[in-house]
Amino acid sequence: MTCSFDLRHYREILDSARAGGYRFAHFGEGPENGDVFLRHDVDLSLDAALRMGELEMEIGATATYFLMTESVFYNLASREGAEAIARLRALGHRVGLHAVYPIARLDERFDPVVAWHNPDPEYMSVPLDGPINVMEERYFSPQTYRSDSNQRWRSGCPHEELRAGGFPWLQLLVHPEIWVYEGATMGQTMRAMLEAERERRLQQLAEDRIDLS
Ligand SMILES: [Zn+2]
Ligand SMILES: [Zn+2]
- From the CA of 5, how far away is ligand 1's center (Å)? 9
- Spatial CA neighbour of 29 closest among 100, 123, 94: 94
- Counting ligands in written order, the one closest to the CA of 175 is 2
- From the CA of 22, how far away is ligand 2's center (Å)? 26
- From the CA of 169, how far away is ligand 2's center (Å)? 23
Overall average pLDDT of the 44-57 stretch: 98
- From the CA of 118, how far away is ligand 1's center (Å)? 24
- Tell me the residues surrounding ligand 2 (ion) with CB < 5 Å: 41, 43, 117
pLDDT of residue 205: 97
Helical H segments across the chain, by residue range = 7-19, 46-58, 79-90, 121-124, 159-163, 176-180, 186-207
- Counting ligands in written order, the one closest to the CA of 67 is 2
- Counting ligands in written order, the one closest to the CA of 66 is 2
- From the CA of 156, how far away is ligand 1's center (Å)? 8
189 — phi, psi (to 5°)? -60, -45
- Confidence tier at 2 by pLDDT (50, 70, 90): confident
pTM over 0.95, yes/no: yes
pLDDT of residue 9: 98
- From the CA of 116, how far away is ligand 2's center (Å)? 7
Q: What's the pLDDT tens digit per position in 77-120?
A: 999 999 999 999 999 999 999 999 999 999 999 999 999 999 99
Quick check: 1 pLDDT over 90? Answer: no
CA 92 vs CA 85, 111, 207: distances in Å: 11, 13, 30
Please name the residues in contact with 59: beta carbons below 8 A apart, sequence gap of 6 or more. 11, 14, 15, 18
Distance CA 162, CA 22 (A): 8
- From the CA of 157, how far away is ligand 1's center (Å)? 5
- Determine the angle formed by the axes of helices 46-58 and 186-207, rounding to 10 degrees: 100
Q: What's the pLDDT tens digit per position in 148-170?
A: 999 999 899 999 999 999 999 99
- Confidence tier at 68 by pLDDT (50, 70, 90): very high
- From the CA of 44, how far away is ligand 2's center (Å)? 8
Overall average pLDDT of the 6-11 stretch: 98
Overall average pLDDT of the 40-69 stretch: 98
pLDDT of residue 169: 98
Distance CA 180, CA 175 (A): 9
Helix, strand counts (H, E) of the chain: 7, 8
Distance CA 145, CA 172 (A): 6
pLDDT of residue 98: 98
Distance CA 61, CA 172 (A): 13
CA 136 vs CA 31, 127, 129, 139, 211: distances in Å: 12, 6, 12, 6, 50
- Spatial CA neighbour of 58 closest among 91, 12, 36, 13: 91
- From the CA of 101, how far away is ligand 2's center (Å)? 11
